[in-house]
Amino acid sequence: MRHATQALALTALTAVAALAGTTAPVAAQDYPNRPVRIVVPFAAGGPADLFARSLGQSLQQALGQNFVVENRPGGGAIIGTDAVAKAAPDGYTLLMMSNTQTVNESLFATKPYQLMRDLTPVAPVNYSDLVLAVHPSVPANNVAELLALARSKPQGLNYASSGPGTPYHMAGELFKAMGGVDIVHVPYKGSSGARTDLLGGQVQMMFDAVTTMADQAKAGKVKALATTGSSRSGVMPDVPTVAESGIPGYEAVIWLGVMAPKNTPKPVVDRLNAEIGRFVNRPETREAWARAGAVPMTMSPEEFGRFLTQDIAKWERIVKLSGARPDQ
């Protein structure tokens, strides 16, 4: 009798082990079977919001479930990021993030999460240059003239950003540090508000994504003095880079990517990575993004993780160089 009981127990354990071994593939095969949230920790209307919506539509078509974009701005993108970090690790809550998150690792002394400890990399999406745009009333037509103007009036000029730690903020702080000028940072709760006030003349300058500011410059509503990449932007080829305009070595871009809560099943992460890769590499996607000034990025989750670690280290150096603080 005892041997029979032991045999039954062994059979039961074997069955449980077999089921456990099939859980991950089944989870990936069935995923998603209900709507998925894409949390954007920035205000509506900016690049992260716009690209999250187009990505969500593509994933919805490919995977047969709704991908709903939820804007949760505030706290320098910390509020929305923390919400994802604390969400269930099941693939039904995703984060649309940018280099704001990698900057925040060194910009904020304390946060309720750590990026690489509490979230897992899924896939990059794209990157684009920024453009240094000034209101037409500013008496400067190039970077050299702007630097001279700023040096003649310490704290006499201000620049808008979408909030502390964002690429727009850090591009401005890097410009100040490398250009040796003292310009006042005016943080907004999102890029749309900052952009609106630049167009209205309430602030004098802003580093903004080429994807959202190029048309305003072409319409003459702002003056585009320089772009921030290592080479000229394909959508603004007549505009020089900051590096060739008086600050050698200057470079600052904005990139976007997707993360999920830590311990999200790897098969789910891999499936999302594959579908995002298909989306960004479609000819129609690449063509549309090229016209807007965005460049697709494709990496495995592991490669994206290494990229994030390197970017955290890069911005830590720049935060120290610029002396940037979240309350500036």
> pLDDT, tens digit, for every residue of 238-266?
999 999 999 999 999 999 999 999 999 99
Residue 74 is encoded by which pair of tokens?
Answer: 């505030």
Calpha distance 222→211 (Å, rounded): 15
Residue range 81-103: average pLDDT?
97
Give residue 321's pLDDT. 84
* 34-127+255-322 and 129-245 in the same fold: yes
pLDDT averaged over every residue in the chain: 91
Q: Of the segments 25-29, 136-140, 210-214, 291-295, which one has the largest average pLDDT value?
A: 136-140
What band does 327 get if pLDDT is binned at 50, 70 and 90? Answer: low
At 302, the pLDDT band (50, 70, 90 cuts) reads: very high
* Amino acid 27: pLDDT: 57
pLDDT, tens digit, 9 for 90 and up, residues 9-42: 434 444 444 444 444 444 567 899 999 999 999 9
Confidence tier at 85 by pLDDT (50, 70, 90): very high
Over residues 175-182, mean pLDDT? 95
Residue 63 neighbours by CB under 8 Å, 6+ apart: 31, 32, 275
* List of residues 6+ apart from 13 with CB closer than 8 A: none
Domain ranges of the chain: 34-127+255-322, 129-245
- The pLDDT, as a whole number, for residue 190 is 85
**pLDDT (tens digit, 9 = 90+) per residue, 104-116?**
999 998 999 999 9
- Contact yes or no for 220/208 (Cβ under 8 A): no
User: pLDDT per residue over 126-166, tens digit each?
Assistant: 999 999 999 999 999 999 999 999 999 999 999 999 889 99
Residue 254 φ/ψ, nearest 5 degrees: -115, 130
Quote the pLDDT of residue 93.
Answer: 98
110 SS3 class: coil
Pick the CATH number of 34-127+255-322 from 3.50.50.60, 3.40.120.10, 3.90.1150.10, 3.40.190.150: 3.40.190.150
Joined together, the tokens standing for residue 82 give 């923390």
315 token code pair: 């911005």
pLDDT-based confidence at residue 324 (cuts at 50, 70, 90): confident
Question: Which residue did the predictor score with more confidence, 317 or 84?
Answer: 84
Question: In 205-304, which ranges are E strands?
Answer: 205-209, 223-227, 253-261, 294-296
Q: Which fold has domain 129-245?
A: D-Maltodextrin-Binding Protein; domain 2 (3.40.190)
Query: With contact defined as beta carbons under 8 Å apart, do 323 and 169 qualify?
Result: no
CA-based R_g, the chain, Å: 23
Residue 6 has pLDDT above 70, yes or no: no
Q: Contact, 130 vs 228, CB < 8 A? A: yes
Average pLDDT of the residues in 214-219: 94
pLDDT of residue 28: 67
DSSP tag of 243 = G
